[in-house]
Chain A
């Protein structure tokens, strides 16, 4: 009976695992590829050659393609997910690093790091239709789910620029901690989150007033404070937790959003850049820039499951259901 129960359990586990259909895509900025990792087997199933220096990436709204900013080729490559190869490209302005698709599915907002611009790309006509001047070295880009607001961080200026998605006017410029990297509007639409790499903080602003409402500070026992840097982050859909990549401290912090305190630190690969949640939010995937791998964290059991070797210089990570 015991054996039977064990066997049944095993089968259930296997079914559950086989049922996991996530596909993870990691951009490798140093070898100009995107690694495709199967979420069930956690093995690399394909390596897709793309343009030079791929960093920001996103699954298209229709789920058919993967968009990859290839900075050194000044464009965004469009990977057809059925064939697993680059099928075309979109213009992006010079040196695109990060971009975000507007919820209307028609427009892309792209940070042009070398030109201090945000380019607006019309996907249908494949044209850059507008450019918005921002601070020095624009980096993080985010669009609110209501489609009204575009956020852009500028690293050297240390600001988050708030752009009206319709008029493309800058409605506010919030000074933030040194070298801001990533920005997001909270899922309820009420807060703006910005990470600062050099100060190692995440600052939370009230979206309507632009006032700072809180700040998350991080420390890792045994790691010099200078190395505890906040880079990419993601919020869960219910807005209760945030996962923040802490760069060269090789940790990801789980943050309780209500109290803005760190609940747990996960040890991941070296120089973790960006993180992505699986569609069911039971897993977190991290792109580790200096150790050429991706870490898989099981969030239910709060444990690191595995490191999967990918290409050189993993930077961005996205998950397709």
Chain B
């Protein structure tokens, strides 16, 4: 054999032996579709308005995926589309699908989210909801290619109820704000009360205009208004539904009876909080703070989980194919480590992420639900939210 032939054979065999991946890494392109939200007005001087809420979580998740991708020879790319409030979400969604993007993380309210999902239904695009907690999206209004990484209101209320019932604080005064979300939160609280054996002794609706407690006499007015407003038959804990942060902060320390406050304020039920530090969460908090210059909210966390779920599925399937990734996310093997002490996965019946719910105080974690006393025959996580037998989702 001539030397030249030998060299050719050697080169050819090296080329054949070389993994395909040594060439251009496969790109997993993830779309981000966000609609600006009305900013919440700061209630107190320490409040910060979180910039790019949700998006920063997605960005961090994609960055984490990309670090892993360096070793699996996969490239992760995020295409961001941010629509102004009441902008054309459907056109933006179609634009992403038109680019061949089959995986989209949606930071949208329920209405625009459904519009986007319906517009994309024929394309097979997987949408991951990282913002809308509406139970209807997991029930009557569910869609086949829609997953949810943000906790539903039912999960938050159940997580809170389990803790309050464990405390034997079973008589609740329910205080509900003016927004549609508040009314839905209150529905979830009522459902949780009947599920876990609590009683709503009285209910109040907050009808005042968002007052300004920070004017010179603001506290004086509240000092007389709140006791009058909260006067009620005896109860153990005031449960407040104020998702827009309009008045919840006024309650603690001012109620007529000396009772704790829980719900959206006081003892807060949430999927994530800056106070979370268990199970290595400190690392995630540090990483997020370094990137975003602020603390991680539950919307940021839901965005991070969505991006990491896609990354995990891409790595495990060794694939950049959206259909394969989307299938794996809904398969029996998917399990995500997300600093909650156990693996997270999606419920097959409604696409909701099953995850523990944190009960947090203003500076520290208070508890984590599910509480040990609430058993479930499959996963105790399924004692939070809508279980398989109860679902109204047909998909």
A residues with a Cβ closer than 8 A to B are 95, 113-114, 116, 133, 135-137, 154-159, 161, 170, 173, 175, 178-179, 197-199, 224, 226-227, 229, 248
A257: min CB distance to chain B, Å: 26
- How many B residues touch A, CB cutoff 8 Å? 23
Interchain CA distance A70-B342 in the complex, whole Å: 26
For the complex, is B78 an interface residue (Cβ under 8 Å from A)? no
B68 & A248 in contact (Cβ 8 Å cutoff): no
A312: min CB distance to chain B, Å: 14
Cβ contact of A157, chosen from B67, B287, B335, B379, cutoff 8 A = B67
Q: A175-B72, A198-B335 are contacts. A227–B315 as well, Cβ < 8 Å? A: no
Query: What residues of chain B lie closer than 8 Å to A178, measured between beta carbons?
Result: 312, 335-337, 343
Query: What residues of chain A lie closer than 8 Å to B286, measured between beta carbons?
Result: 95, 114
A160: min CB distance to chain B, Å: 10
Interchain CA distance A154-B337 in the complex, whole Å: 12
For the complex, is B283 an interface residue (Cβ under 8 Å from A)? yes
List 10 A-B pairs, minimum CB-CB distance, nearest first.
Answer: A179-B337, A173-B71, A157-B68, A226-B342, A198-B343, A198-B337, A136-B67, A178-B337, A136-B64, A178-B335
Interchain CA distance A47-B381 in the complex, whole Å: 40
B258: min CB distance to chain A, Å: 32
B343 & A156 in contact (Cβ 8 Å cutoff): no
Interchain CA distance A248-B356 in the complex, whole Å: 15
Taking CB atoms and an 8 Å cut-off, the chain B residues in 36-70 that contact chain A are 64, 67-68, 70
A227 & B342 in contact (Cβ 8 Å cutoff): yes
B145: min CB distance to chain A, Å: 25
Chain A, Cβ-Cβ closest to B318 = A175
Interchain CA distance A271-B374 in the complex, whole Å: 20
Query: What residues of chain A lie closer than 8 Å to B252, measured between beta carbons?
Result: none
Cβ contact of B71, chosen from A157, A198, A224, cutoff 8 A = A157
List 6 A-B pairs, Cβ < 8 Å: A114-B283, A135-B68, A157-B64, A159-B68, A159-B71, A198-B335
For the complex, is B341 an interface residue (Cβ under 8 Å from A)? yes
B residues with a Cβ closer than 8 A to A are 64, 67-68, 70-72, 280, 283, 286-287, 308, 312, 315-316, 335-337, 341-343, 379-381
Interchain CA distance A95-B283 in the complex, whole Å: 9
Query: What residues of chain A lie closer than 8 Å to B315, measured between beta carbons?
Result: 158, 175
Query: What residues of chain A lie closer than 8 Å to B312, measured between beta carbons?
Result: 158, 178
Cβ contact of A135, chosen from B71, B343, B380, cutoff 8 A = B71
Query: What residues of chain B lie closer than 8 Å to A173, measured between beta carbons?
Result: 71-72
Interface of B is mostly: helix
B287 & A114 in contact (Cβ 8 Å cutoff): yes
B343 & A137 in contact (Cβ 8 Å cutoff): no
Interchain CA distance A179-B316 in the complex, whole Å: 13
B112: min CB distance to chain A, Å: 31
B337 & A156 in contact (Cβ 8 Å cutoff): yes
Interchain CA distance A22-B200 in the complex, whole Å: 59
Interchain CA distance A133-B343 in the complex, whole Å: 26
Query: What residues of chain A lie closer than 8 Å to B283, measured between beta carbons?
Result: 95, 113-114, 137
B337 & A136 in contact (Cβ 8 Å cutoff): no
A287: min CB distance to chain B, Å: 16
A187: min CB distance to chain B, Å: 28
Query: What residues of chain A lie closer than 8 Å to B381, measured between beta carbons?
Result: 226
Interchain CA distance A229-B340 in the complex, whole Å: 13
B341 & A116 in contact (Cβ 8 Å cutoff): no
A199 & B280 in contact (Cβ 8 Å cutoff): no
A155 & B71 in contact (Cβ 8 Å cutoff): no
Interchain CA distance A227-B341 in the complex, whole Å: 8
A55: min CB distance to chain B, Å: 11
B236: min CB distance to chain A, Å: 28
Query: What residues of chain A lie closer than 8 Å to B68, measured between beta carbons?
Result: 135-136, 154, 156-159
A156 & B71 in contact (Cβ 8 Å cutoff): no
Interchain CA distance A158-B312 in the complex, whole Å: 9
Cβ contact of A226, chosen from B280, B308, B336, B343, cutoff 8 A = B343
B320: min CB distance to chain A, Å: 16
Query: What residues of chain B lie closer than 8 Å to A229, measured between beta carbons?
Result: 342
A2: min CB distance to chain B, Å: 51
Query: What residues of chain A lie closer than 8 Å to B70, measured between beta carbons?
Result: 133
Chain A, Cβ-Cβ closest to B71 = A173
A138: min CB distance to chain B, Å: 10
Chain A, Cβ-Cβ closest to B335 = A178
Query: What residues of chain B lie closer than 8 Å to A199, measured between beta carbons?
Result: 335, 343
Cβ contact of B64, chosen from A95, A156, A224, A248, cutoff 8 A = A156
Query: What residues of chain A lie closer than 8 Å to B341, measured between beta carbons?
Result: 248
Interchain CA distance A229-B283 in the complex, whole Å: 20
Q: A114-B286, A178-B343 are contacts. A161–B71 as well, Cβ < 8 Å? A: yes
Query: What residues of chain A lie closer than 8 Å to B335, measured between beta carbons?
Result: 178, 198-199
A226: min CB distance to chain B, Å: 4
Query: What residues of chain A lie closer than 8 Å to B72, measured between beta carbons?
Result: 173, 175
Interchain CA distance A113-B290 in the complex, whole Å: 14
B330: min CB distance to chain A, Å: 17
Chain A, Cβ-Cβ closest to B68 = A157
Interchain CA distance A95-B72 in the complex, whole Å: 26
B296: min CB distance to chain A, Å: 15
Cβ contact of B337, chosen from A161, A197, A227, cutoff 8 A = A197
Chain A, Cβ-Cβ closest to B73 = A173
B272: min CB distance to chain A, Å: 16
A319: min CB distance to chain B, Å: 26
Chain B, Cβ-Cβ closest to A137 = B283
Query: What residues of chain B lie closer than 8 Å to A136, measured between beta carbons?
Result: 64, 67-68
B58: min CB distance to chain A, Å: 15
Chain B, Cβ-Cβ closest to A161 = B71
B390: min CB distance to chain A, Å: 21
Query: What residues of chain A lie closer than 8 Å to B316, measured between beta carbons?
Result: 175
Q: Which of A133, A154, A175 has the most CB of B within 10 A?
A: A175
Interchain CA distance A173-B316 in the complex, whole Å: 14
Interchain CA distance A109-B72 in the complex, whole Å: 24
A211: min CB distance to chain B, Å: 15
B280 & A155 in contact (Cβ 8 Å cutoff): yes
Query: What residues of chain B lie closer than 8 Å to A175, measured between beta carbons?
Result: 72, 315-316
Query: What residues of chain A lie closer than 8 Å to B379, measured between beta carbons?
Result: 224, 226
Q: Which of B286, B343, B381 has the most CB of A within 10 A?
A: B343
Q: Which of A95, A135, A157, A170 has the most CB of B within 10 A?
A: A157
Known: A155-B337, A157-B64, A226-B380; 14 extra A-B contacts, CB below 8 A, are A113-B280, A114-B286, A114-B287, A135-B68, A135-B71, A136-B64, A158-B315, A175-B72, A175-B316, A178-B335, A179-B337, A197-B337, A224-B379, A248-B341
